[in-house]
Structure 1
Amino acid sequence: MERYLKISKFILFVVGILFFTATAYSQVDQSLQAKWDKAKIQSEQNLRGSMNLLRLSKPLNTYSFPFLKEQGGLSLADGYFSKIQYLDESGYPVIFEPHNVNAAITTGVNHLQPGGSLGLNLTGKGLVVGIFDQTRPKRDHSEFGTRLTQVDGSTETLSEHSTHVTGTIMASGVNSGARGMAYEATGWAFNWEADISKMLANAYEPTSKPTGMLISNHSYGVVLGWRRDGANWTWFGNPSISTEEDWRFGFYSNKSQAIDELIYSRPYYSVVWSAGNDRDDRGDGTRPPDGPEDTIGPEGVAKNNITVGAVSQVLDYTGPNSVAVSGFSAWGPTDDGRIKPDLVAMGVNVFSSSINASNQDSYASLSGTSMSAPNVTGSLFLLQQLYGERNPGKFMLASTVKALAIHTAKEAGPAPGPDYMYGWGLLDAKASAELILNEDGGSKLIRELILDQGATYQYEIVSDGITPISATIAWTDPAGNPTGSEVDPTDLMLVNDLDLRIFDEDGVEFFPWTLNPALGSAARGVQNTDNFRDNVEKVLIASPSPKKYIVKVTHKGDLTFGMQPFSLVFTSGAVDGAEETLYWIGGANGDWNDPTKWSFTANGSSAGKIPDTGTRVVFDGPAGQNITVNVTSASNAFSVNVFGDQLLTLDLKSQPLVVSNGFRVSNQITEIKNGAIVFDSESTNELLVEFGQTLFENTQLKFNGGNWRVISGSKLDEVEVNTYVKFDMPILEAKQIQILAEGNLEGNFETLKFSESLTVNSVAQLKEGLTAQFEGSTGQFSNSSAVEFSNLETLSGTLQLISDGIENLEIKDGKVVLGSTSVEVESLELGAGSALEFSQVGTFTVLDGIISTASSQSKALISGLTEGSMLLFDVYKKLCLDHLNVINVNKTGQGIVNLGTGATIENASGWLSQDCEEVLFAKFESTFTCVGAAVNFENQSEGAVSTYLWEFGPGITSTLENPIFVFDAPGIYPVKLTISNSMGSTSFIEEVEISANDLSKPVIVINGSQLTSQQPGDSYQWYQNGQPVAGANQRSFVAEDDGSYQVAIFDASCNRISDPVIISALPEPDLSRFGIFVGPIPSYDQVIVRVNNEYKGPIKFSIVDVAGRIYSSRSAGKNSAEFSEIITLPSRAGLYILRIETNSLSLHKKLIKH
């Protein structure tokens, strides 16, 4: 059964669109965010644990291989010595070499730079790009100014290659022909040694490394297959694995895995790697040539990076035939059939900064995928800058950068769709930027989401029947598991297999592009089957019909880490999308409803029309402009988007502005006042709102229809919810919050803070576990829904509590006035100076506890306007509160509440005002609760106790502090403890459940004074006169005093106690001499005393135990020769003494009670 994520299981967490943005932390569902955070940590731990695989274990000069002329490395054609980095899976050396053999126009990045057609001013200023390369670039080259830092401190020989690559990315344009893509960027340079470790330490991460590298370039790779050395060729493959092919081509290696782990642990960090130049390495004929296909090295084979091939310059793109791949650029597929390279860019005769033989500033034209990779790096870097400007302080995930670049790439190659030569096509930075600029929440989408285990994401749109429908997803996949060293293993490296499909309203299914790796470079893209290899999927419907289409994202099997973040880019023509865009050109002050104030282009001429339901509205003024727009009549818009640096005031003039798709504010200061913004849509898709730091004054935000998500907002004014709305802020704060009958309030927030009113309709739906927080002068709270607020907190003022609907009430300051006659809470907290007031006679029930944090200088108060109200505290607890006064409110229930000696209690009963230490509170615990056991009753009472009285049943009592008692049958028995002192008494009753007992009753064997348990046990305890004898825990025991003795044997769960035996050396007089008979002995309940003698007068009978404690005492008068008296024995078995006293005699008799 499908679960549609737009309802509950799908999480949107970062989006760069024209009306919406937010960080991952504000948007991700907390449980999924926790999963993702844990997954990133695990991935980083995996990476750190495998770092040793990418290091040498012995000194460099100890490594020697027959195909290397020098120990420890290889001299490159440019004269540089490249050291062995580590040994591969087969034990062969890994040696890096650069991938080198008017770029901005080819990728369209010139349109993003100042003076470009998009009107943007993107230069990379303020952002950090990483350059990993051979040795080090010339840091003080005139093209770099002071913007380049050698972060790893390398002092190696300067590298022409590294200087050229760096210039392609960030040269300032001292020589205009060499100006880089991001010519004001900050560059961090590193040599290629221990690259993974350096990348991990310096990559951008929003929390731990917010100033780190957003993207890094890597124009190098492993020396593979054939390599020319002057006029000679050397083969670098491992002949023990294959004599025909270097097995590392296309192989997913430990290095590939490390790159994927790295990017998974740093999901905002994009890594661009050159595809390599091995395709035309033909060798000397003794073995097959390297190419043409399956010639990409392990770094380029990684899943989560962006692998770039090289093409010739494209000045005027007219179609796929305009793009010509270079003769050297490496082709895919990877061994498991994935599409690589990802993209192509200009890499032939690229002019850039360089150095001459004297290490002086120079310029050169070089070719290679080394040149195409920085072309892409610099272009994507500017896209991140554009996104950051539209979304201050926020950037795209690496998967979004990749999906955006692939989605908008220009078609290249012999057939539509991807191939193993050009990948997904020629990077088109202009088209990518336009999509960021024109994202409208309907027909143009950029989404960053998390797919939960077992969930489905879907998005619906009604096509215009003209514009192609295209959807692309990309995801940073968990690292794969490399196979053993072999040639072309087909084991799939994809871990989490997501599936992208589009269905039309008739159920027709449209598949993503996929390639058949068995066909190699001859493979052509098809859209008739599942793609189970790539972590990029793209569906294209070139000729849609005018009908509804549904985009769906699902997954196969179990997702590693239980979820998978992914990015979606979508474009189409939509009937329910924005029909047009209107830009404000009305100057500093104007009327929304004036058609001369709007233009179809930024800063263009008047469009002669005003926005309507199909209009995407844009405010995009520069800094220094203060704009006031007056809405003088009811108005509509598809979406409202506030960009730029102008200060905008939107004065609604008591009019409604109805928005059907989205609202986004990303400038510094926007004020909206005096009216209502109505969010109303018939779409079932999630619609997005971002208010940023917008200031509201006298403004209603009415959510009337649709499925809305509010990404950000500070303090709102009046919020009315009558549809599904999800708020991603940690606190939803407004003056007034009203949830109507059709309202459904969800989100990441935990607190609703209000200053005037919070009202929830009886049938409204509400997120559980919320805290309502009031801070104002006067306010009202009413929750009639079935969902209670976990806490209601008051921080100031007076709050009218109109209804129940809360679990806990915390009056930290101010006053809560009970407007309902019956309110029930789990707990009540009263702060300094706070008050709980009964406005009418009623009952306030506390189920768990009361806390007072008041002080002697600022006491709390519970009061009623008239007598008769009750605070019902019916849970058996003792509470000692300080600095709390009570007027006109009685305390009822079995709970004990003591207010201390300084409390003022007026016209109120049930409260105590004593020292807390003296307040009696009876309590006990029982152990070994089974039949025939010595059940221990441990007194835990509090207060100044004088006497104890235990009641185990009718007439069965004990006055000991910690008695034991034996129950003869299983069942539930009420046991009552009453404690007392001169101030009074209190009782506690608890039902004790007695269970069956597997132990047999022990029998005591008497040998003189030595007593022994006939039955063995795990342990033992001996008792004298019903009390345990300290240290007497052996099987045998020597009785040294008179008394009644018992033994209990123990097993793992309970004990069993014996019948008592009597040890006595106390001499007894012969009562028959005095005409006295006492019997029967032993006895169970009572004995009869018969007297037959001449004595007449008073007789006193007393029952005393061997410790001298008197259990009972009574007197009688003997008026005749014969006399009899029935004496009731104590309930507990044991040895007792019957004392018989007359005027002249004092006699005694031993009694044994069974």
Structure 2
Amino acid sequence: MDSRIRFFYNGVTMSFLFLFVSVGQKMVAQSLELKSLIKKEYDFSKIGSMQVDLEFDYEVNRAKTMAMAKANNLKIKEVLPNGKKVELQEIGHDGSPIYYETYADNASQTSRASALHNNGLLNLDLDGLGMEVGVWDAGVAMTTHQEYDVRAHVGDGGTEIDAHATMVTGSLISSGIKRNAQGVAYRASVLSHDWTRDKIEVAEAAANGLLLSNHSYGIKTDRVPDWYFGSYIKVAQDWDNIMYNAPYYLMVTAAGNARHSGDNESPVFGTSADGFDLLLGFTVAKNGLTVAGSNSRIDTRGNLKEASVSAYSSYGPVDDGRIKPDLAGDGSSILSTDAKSETSYDISAGTSMATPGVTGALLLLQQYNEQLYGSYLKAATLKGLALHTADDVDAPGPDYKMGWGVMNAKRAAEVLHQKEFSTQILENTLVDGEIFELTVKATEGATLMASISWTDPASEYINRGELNDGTPALVNDLDIRITQDGKTFLPWKLNPKNPNAPAEHGDNRVDPFEKIEIPNALGTYTIIVSHKRGLLQDKQDYSLIVSGASFTECSLNSPSGLSLENPLDNKIMLKWNEIVDGLYEVQYRKESEGSWISIFTTTGSKTLSDLVLNESYVVRVRTFCSQNIASEFSMEYKFTFDGPNTVVGLLDTFQTLSADQGISFSVYPNPAVNQISLLTEVGASAMYRIISPAGIELKVGTIEKEPIPVADLATGMYILQIKDGDTYKSTKFFKN
């Protein structure tokens, strides 16, 4: 049942579509229908013109490339002794031959995507069913591998089966016949392509609603002059243009494995031995997501215990100082499918394998958002969510090694779920000259975090040969600030002239993503989004993500004080004590039947209709504090409907359905941050257990030393169970 409710917070109107589903119910993404809705938002005259330009450029450059290769006896394709495939892709503006190579040297735990799976920490049962992801690589995957079922398809007619493409595809969608090789989105589908016409094919696929594509390859670092490193060249411009014109599409790329290559002898900082300034081509694009490799250790609760950048992973920065790579995934010793046979597997390492782990996690987040809210996130929102929730590593703030940290799909899913309760996600448009303000109340003791992300127009300026040219590629320079009592908090920024230095706070003039963090925030703050200079086309879409705040006064308590009033011939009014900002779900049914009738209201009363005389009914009520954050139902009560003669206004006329429902208690504070205490007396030998919604026991102990510590728990809903002698009591609480 759908119910559109409009709330007002701090002058900002928020419209919700409530899609209530039973706990554990599986919702399948309606990909084709949602793709159609995405396509309706696109300007196909611009996309069509862009595709024509890409096709023309390709044909001209391909002819030039083949002619140069013939004249200079250049190899078009070759397989190196280490098994890597290399192919001449195009000729640069300066006449340099540009070769593509795969980024593997022969991943779902590190990205926390496993927390989203069936029986994962969040028990969301997300698997990619109904979702589709594009893969471009040195060739096409072996689509008949036993791990893919019928979910891998060749998208461009390619016939050259490639081991690297097969391994990347397996990291994304392997079903888990070999358990340790299971892909991140193990029921999703892959469209596999050869890299030869990657831009043209991606532009067409994105125009048709493709959300994500994986590119675990890039320009070979030892065959280009030094000025190419970190440069915003035409290939980066083309990819930015594709993403700008198809704003739901996000390109995910591998950073490369050239840290110790020594190939850039004139980096923007230090010497080639330092490993900085090694990103090339589309890894430098503003709007894409560039993935570094990490070595990480994750505990059983999905918490990052330690992490370091992989020894091979290429560092940024790019020449204009933007934060690249964007984040990191696990690229070490990944078991995946192999192309030797339909049942073969192999282990590989490199940013090639880190990248599909991140891409698959992003696909699951799109699936989850569709389940929760009936739509997909724009690419800027998805990218912003990943960067907003990444685990920071080493010094606070981003760096040029692993960007904003290690991908944390678990935390990203929690931010999605808690939208309008303790988080906020807004997709807005900033008009030229406009300022957007949002006032929020910080969650005491938490870190208030706010970020903006936007898909920026492609820069008209491209580098044509200047070494370490710092000209900013950013076109529309948006800004985020947070103020409180005359104090202004600024976003993170990095200094490309000293990339080893820790991040600092200041005016970020180069990145299309900005984030502010305020540890131990207290009180009310104002978030401000503005811009510098004029905006291209007089406007810019952007996404605002906020966490560590309260967006409602609603408390997660079951309604109390239920009573019956105003009985008529076939209906009666049910009333209860209202909770501030609460939305209520009322369920009732005949005692003799099992299915509930659900109705929703924003007030403390609701009329139960179509009742039958002398029939016994059961009724219960729960509170929703946001679209997906709800209390437990109240106790279930029974009444017999006698029409106008029904006894009115006496709660005693209700009967509880079972005596054990009367054994209840509560805790405070709820939501909790660091600890919880019981609002009931228990014996000295009482024991407690804290259980995840998936039924996993997380903590156990005695009650003798209250309060119970919960600071080490991740954000989410938990069950607290008390054993007091022979009596068992349980309640739910929310951990912020």
TM-score (norm 2): 0.71
Q: Partners of 2:624 and 2:83 in 1: how far apart?
A: 64
| Other-structure match for 1:295 | 278
**Equivalent-residue separation in structure 1 for 2:266 and 2:315 (angstroms):** 23
What are the equivalent positions in structure 2 for 1:223-622 lying under 5 Å apart? 223-225=220-222, 236-238=223-225, 246-282=226-262, 289=272, 292-316=275-299, 322-356=306-340, 359-392=341-374, 394-412=375-393, 414-440=394-420, 443-480=422-459, 481-504=461-484, 506-520=485-499, 522-527=500-505, 529-546=506-523, 548-574=524-550, 577-578=552-553, 580-581=555-556, 612-613=579-580
Instruction: Summarize the alignment of residues 736-885 of structure 1 with structure 2, pairs less than 5 Å apart.
Output: none
Secondary structure of the structure 2 residue equivalent to 1:322: strand
1:177 to 162, 177, 180: 180
> Take 1:331 and 1:446, find their aligned partners in 2: how far apart are those partners?
30
Amino acid at match of 1:149: H
Question: Residue 201 of structure 2 aligns with which residue?
Answer: 198
More strand by share: 1
Moved more, 486-495 or 69-78: 69-78
Report the Cα distance in structure 1 between the residues aligned to 2:265 and 2:530, rounded to whole angstroms: 49
Q: Which moved more, 1:456-465 or 1:367-376?
A: 456-465
The size of the alignment, in residue pairs, is 573
- Quick one: which amino acid aligns to residue 185 of structure 1? A
| 2:228 maps to amino acid | R
The DSSP-based 3-state class of the residue aligned with 1:496 is coil
Moved more, 347-356 or 179-188: 347-356
Aligned-pair distance for 1:118?
1.5
Query: Conserved in 1, the CA contact under 8 Å of 2:85 and 2:101?
Result: no
| 1:296–1:332 contact (8 Å) kept in structure 2 | yes
- 1:18–1:439 contact (8 Å) kept in structure 2: no
1:612 is displaced (CA, Å) by 2.0
Partner of 2:210: 213
Q: Secondary structure at the match of 1:323?
A: strand
- Give 1:310 shift: 0.5
- Which of 107, 110, 113 pairs up with 1:106? 110
Deviation at 1:251, TM superposition (A): 0.9
Are 1:76 and 2:54 counterparts? Answer: no
Contact 2:97 2:224 in 1 (8 A): no
* Per-residue deviation, 1:62: 3.2
* 1:1067-1101 Cα shifts (integer Å, max 9, x gaps): xxxxxxxxxxxxxxxxxxxxxxxxxxxxxxxxxxx
**Shift, 1:299, TM fit:** 1.1
Distance across 1 between alignment mates of 2:560 and 2:596: 12
Distance in 1 (CA, whole Å) between partners of 2:586 and 2:287 is: 37
Match of 1:1077 in 2: none
Residues 584 and 623, structure 2, Cα contact 8 Å, conserved in 1: no
| Among 110, 133, 139, the residue aligned to 1:135 | 139
Mapped to 2, the partners of 1:14 and 1:150 lie a distance apart of 41
Give the Cα separation in 1 of the matches to 2:586 and 2:381. Answer: 26
Matches within 5 A, 1:718-729: none
Going from structure 1 to structure 2, the CA distance change for 1:279 and 1:11 (only over 3 Å counts) comes to: farther
One-letter amino acid of the structure 2 residue matched with residue 531 of structure 1: N
What stretches of structure 2 of length at least 5 have no aligned partner? 1-6, 21-29, 31-38, 564-575, 588-592, 612-620, 631-736
- CA shift for structure 1 position 572: 2.0
Structure ID, larger Rg: 1
| Alpha-carbon displacement from aligned partner over 1:510-548 (angstroms, at most 9, x marks no partner) | 10111111102x131112x211100000011112232x2
Change (3 A) 1:540 1:650: farther
When residues 634 and 511 of structure 1 are mapped into structure 2, their CA distance, relative to the original with a 3 A threshold, is: closer
Q: CA–CA distance in 2 between the matches of 1:169 and 1:444?
A: 29
- Higher RCO (CA < 8 A, seq sep 6+): 2
Sequence identity of aligned pairs in percent? 30
Shift of 1:160: 1.3
d(CA) in 2 for partners of 1:193, 1:502: 46
CA deviation map 1:212-271 (0-9, x unaligned): 42211000001113xxxxxxxxxx233xxxxxxx22111111110111100111111111
Letter in 2 for 1:569: I
Residue 293 of structure 2 aligns with an amino acid whose one-letter code is A
Provide the rounded CA distance (Å) in 2 between the counterparts of 1:191 and 1:248: 24
SS of the residue 2:354 aligns to? helix
Does the CA contact (< 8 Å) of 1:17 and 1:438 recur in 2? no
SS in 1 for 2:153: strand
What is the CA-CA distance between 1:58 and the residue it aligns to? 2.2
Give the deviation of 1:122 after TM superposition: 0.9
Corresponding residue of 1:222: 219
Q: Aligned to 1:258, what secondary structure does the other structure show? A: helix
SS state of the match for residue 314, structure 1? strand
Question: One-letter code of the match for 1:342?
Answer: D
CA distance in 1, matches of 2:265, 2:628: 63
Is the 2:495–2:501 Cα contact (8 Å) retained in structure 1?
yes
Q: How high is the TM-score relative to the length of structure 1?
A: 0.46
C-alpha separation in 1, matches of 2:14 and 2:458: 22
- Contact 2:479/2:508 (<8 A) preserved: yes
How far 1:330 sits from its partner (Å)? Answer: 1.0
- 8 Å contact kept, 1:410–1:426: yes
Deviations 1:1000-1036 (A, max 9, x none): xxxxxxxxxxxxxxxxxxxxxxxxxxxxxxxxxxxxx
1:374–1:97: structure 2 CA closer, same or farther, 3 Å change rule?
A: same
CA gap of 1:619–1:43, structure 2 versus 1, over 3 A, is farther
Higher helix share: 2
Q: Secondary structure at the match of 2:338?
A: strand
Q: Identify if the C-alpha distance between structure 1 residues 18 and 519 changes in structure 2 by more than 3 Å, giving closer, same or farther.
A: farther
**Which residue of the partner structure matches residue 704 of structure 2?**
none
Kindly report the root-mean-square deviation, in angstroms, between the aligned alpha carbons of the 2 structures. 3.9
SS in 2 for 1:517: coil
Q: 1:176 to 1:653 in 2, by over 3 A?
A: same
Structure 1 unaligned spans of 5+: 1-5, 24-32, 226-235, 239-245, 584-590, 596-608, 637-648, 667-1154
Could you tell me how far apart the structure 2 residues matched to 1:634 and 1:50 are? 57
Q: Deviations over 1:905-963 (max 9, x none)?
A: xxxxxxxxxxxxxxxxxxxxxxxxxxxxxxxxxxxxxxxxxxxxxxxxxxxxxxxxxxx
In 1: Cα distance, 2:78 partner to 2:556 partner = 59
Cα 1:619/1:306, change in 2 over 3 Å: farther
Q: CA deviation at 1:610?
A: 8.0
**Residues 510 and 355 of structure 1: CA distance in aligned 2, closer, same or farther (over 3 Å):** same
Give the C-alpha shift of residue 630 in structure 1: 7.5
1:187 to partner: Cα distance: 1.0
- Alpha-carbon displacement from aligned partner over 1:1037-1064 (angstroms, at most 9, x marks no partner): xxxxxxxxxxxxxxxxxxxxxxxxxxxx
Cα distance in 1 for residues equivalent to 2:392 and 2:385? 14
Distance in 1, Cα, partners of 2:622 & 2:343 = 60
Tell whether the 8 Å contact from 1:164 to 1:354 is kept in structure 2 after alignment: yes
Task: For 2:48 and 2:473, locate their aligned partners in 1 and report how far apart those are by CA, in whole Å.
Answer: 19
What secondary structure sits across from 2:382 in the alignment?
helix
Mapped to 2, the partners of 1:399 and 1:562 lie a distance apart of 19
Shift of 1:145: 0.9
1:652–1:373 distance in 2 versus 1, CA, 3 Å: farther
